[in-house]
């Protein structure tokens, strides 16, 4: 799929479903390059986790760079799924390439996001600002991928999200959570990275997500230039003369189940008490579940058809999910953004309505491409109906190249509204071509 506007703005979408990592990398790069008349100004590369067992991600990138012109700005990472002009996929590798002369591009990297999220954001933003300091274009965009949390690997227990034992739960809470990050496990702390980025570079529009595997929360990787990273943020900074068009949509319905978070620890990421009582029992009672049922659902229990995320009444734009139990405690994907929580509901129809509202913008603007980021939890909730997303995108975008990625969580912000990291939203970005 390619789009050429006045021989000036070019976009191409690539896809490979080959099993061998190096062959897949070479094929996807060859596809995007062959469709462009000019070398790409940047490339976004996203892969499912499968290539870890079919040659590895270093081989995937070697295949890409056999074809891609040297020094092309490139970032990306592992995601659970993606949708593009060719279909809806949970296995494979895809790429989006853009070529446009009136644009400056650079890359940024911040390491050890689980240990020092704010420092990682500072290092990343510093590289972006330095790389674009001489750019004369006023409209700025930052596309990012951040390493998400990883389930800890405990001796004799393996990688689990529920610890029934109070004693082991206490050890995991008060010792393990301090030690896990040094081995690459534990909370992703994406919200701290995004909070700091938004503070440091408020002049940038921001869109991205958290790298993940097949939603098992075991491994994730980020790509930057010719390197495969983990426990990092990678970012692409863009300065361009075209207006940037961005939109985010969310459609959660509050239930009657509300509760007060009365005691937390670990910067609010661990709920210890709900309504002044042990948090785990209170949650299970509210959900009318026992611990075995919760365990069967897996991390984030998103496989339930009517998944129940929650919001904070004090900050309703922030959404979160409950990852599991450490003894009597509940651990969250993100830190608490308030004390008054409300369980919400989201259905398959709600999800399709979110996308419909986001993409159906009429025909008043001409877009060279559309890039989208939305939590893979939404596609898991849709199940076999996830192909309805493809139908909807085809209907509204016609022949316009598009790429929707499915990270585990997403982040989004504009120059008018501070960026946040959350789940269950649908986010899109493009450029307006009215002046071409």
pLDDT in tens, 99-147: 999 999 999 999 999 999 999 999 999 999 999 999 999 999 999 999 9
- Mean pLDDT over residues 379-387, rounded? 80
Q: How many residues does the chain have?
A: 436
Whether the CB-CB separation of 422 and 409 falls below 8 Å is answered with yes
Better-scored residue on pLDDT, 34 or 169: 34
pLDDT band at 262 (very low <50, low <70, confident <90, very high): very high
Q: What share of the chain in percent tops pLDDT 90?
A: 59
- Give residue limits of the domains in the chain: 2-149+186-249+349-431, 253-345
Report the phi/psi class of residue 223: left, alpha or beta, with left for phi > 0 and alpha for psi in -120 to 50.
beta
Reduce the DSSP state of residue 414 to 3 states and report it: coil
Instruction: Determine the pLDDT at residue 306.
Output: 36
210-226: per-residue pLDDT in tens?
999 987 778 999 999 99
**Residue 417 confidence (pLDDT) above 60:** yes
SS3 347: coil
**Selection from 207, 199, 142 nearest residue 413 by Cα:** 207
Rounded Cα distance, 42 and 45, in Å: 10
Closest to 207 in 3D by CA, of 416, 354, 414, 417: 414
- On average, the pLDDT of the chain sits at 86
Predicted confidence band of residue 176 (pLDDT cuts 50, 70, 90): low
378: which residues sit within 8 A by CB, 6+ positions away?
Answer: 346, 351, 354, 406, 424, 426
Q: What is the mean pLDDT of residues 230-244?
A: 97
pLDDT, position 180: 63
Mean pLDDT confidence for 309-321: 86
Cβ atoms within 10 A of the Cβ of 4, count?
Answer: 16
Residue 384 CB neighbour total at 10 angstroms? 6
Q: Which residue has the higher pLDDT, 325 or 223?
A: 223
Q: Is the pLDDT of residue 266 over 90?
A: no
- List the structure tokens of 35: 């469709």
Examine the pLDDT at 265 and tell me if it is beyond 50.
Answer: yes
Residue 436: the pLDDT is: 45
Quick: pLDDT tens for 67-96. Answer: 999 999 999 999 999 999 999 999 999 999
Average pLDDT over residues 260-288: 88
pLDDT above 80: residue 301: no
Asked if the model's pLDDT at residue 300 lies above 50, the reply is: no
Answer left, alpha or beta for residue 348, where phi above 0 means left and psi between -120 and 50 means alpha: alpha
Instruction: Give the C-alpha distances (Å, rounded to integers) separating 159 from 112, 218, 231.
Output: 21, 8, 18
Helix axes 348-359, 387-397, angle to 10 degrees: 20
CB 67 within 8 A of CB 24: no
Whether the per-residue pLDDT at 191 is higher than 90: the answer is yes
Closest alpha carbon to 376 in 154, 138, 217, 259: 217
DSSP character at residue 49: G
- Structure-block tokens of residue 310: 């929650």
Mean pLDDT, to the nearest integer, of 405-417?
A: 94
Q: 376 with 212: CB under 8 angstroms?
A: yes
């Amino acid at each position: 799929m390619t789009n050429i506007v006045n021989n000036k703005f070019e976009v191409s979408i690539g896809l490979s479903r080959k099993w061998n990592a190096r062959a897949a990398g070479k094929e996807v790069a060859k596809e995007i390059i062959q469709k462009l008349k000019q070398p790409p100004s940047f490339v976004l590369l996203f892969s499912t986790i499968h290539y870890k067992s079919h040659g590895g991600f270093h081989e995937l990138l070697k295949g890409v760079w056999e074809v891609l012109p040297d020094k092309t700005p490139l970032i990306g990472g592992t995601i659970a799924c993606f949708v593009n002009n060719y279909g809806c996929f949970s296995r494979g590798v895809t790429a989006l390439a853009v070529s446009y002369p009136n644009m400056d591009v650079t890359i940024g990297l911040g390491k050890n996001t689980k240990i020092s999220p704010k420092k990682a954001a500072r290092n990343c933003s510093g590289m972006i600002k330095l790389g674009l300091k001489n750019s004369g274009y006023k409209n700025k965009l930052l596309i990012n991928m951040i390493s998400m949390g990883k389930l800890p690997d405990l001796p004799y227990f393996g990688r689990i999200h529920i610890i029934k034992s109070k004693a082991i739960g206490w050890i995991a809470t008060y010792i393990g959570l301090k030690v896990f990050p040094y081995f690459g496990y534990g909370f992703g702390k994406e919200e701290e990275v995004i909070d700091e980025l938004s503070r440091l570079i408020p002049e940038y529009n921001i869109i991205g997500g958290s790298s993940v595997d097949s939603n098992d929360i075991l491994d994730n990787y980020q790509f930057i230039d010719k390197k495969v990273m983990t426990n990092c943020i990678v970012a692409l900074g863009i300065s361009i003369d075209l207006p940037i068009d961005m939109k985010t949509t969310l459609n959660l319905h509050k239930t009657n189940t509300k509760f007060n978070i009365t005691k937390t620890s670990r910067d609010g990421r661990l709920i210890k008490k709900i309504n002044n009582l042990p948090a785990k029992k209170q949650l299970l009672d509210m959900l009318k579940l026992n611990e075995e049922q919760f365990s069967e659902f897996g991390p984030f229990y998103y496989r339930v058809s009517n998944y129940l995320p929650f919001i904070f009444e004090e900050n309703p734009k922030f959404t979160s999910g409950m990852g599991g139990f450490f003894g009597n405690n509940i651990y969250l994907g993100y830190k608490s953004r308030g004390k008054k929580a409300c369980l919400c509901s989201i259905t398959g129809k709600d999800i399709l309505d979110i996308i419909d509202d986001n993409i159906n913008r009429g025909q008043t603007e001409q877009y060279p491409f559309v890039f989208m980021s939305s939590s893979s939890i939404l596609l898991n909730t849709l199940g076999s109906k996830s192909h309805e997303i493809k139908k909807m995108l085809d209907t509204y975008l016609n022949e316009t190249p598009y790429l929707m990625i499915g990270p585990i969580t997403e982040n989004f912000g504009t120059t008018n509204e501070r960026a946040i990291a959350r789940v269950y939203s649908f986010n899109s970005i493009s450029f307006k071509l009215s002046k071409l």
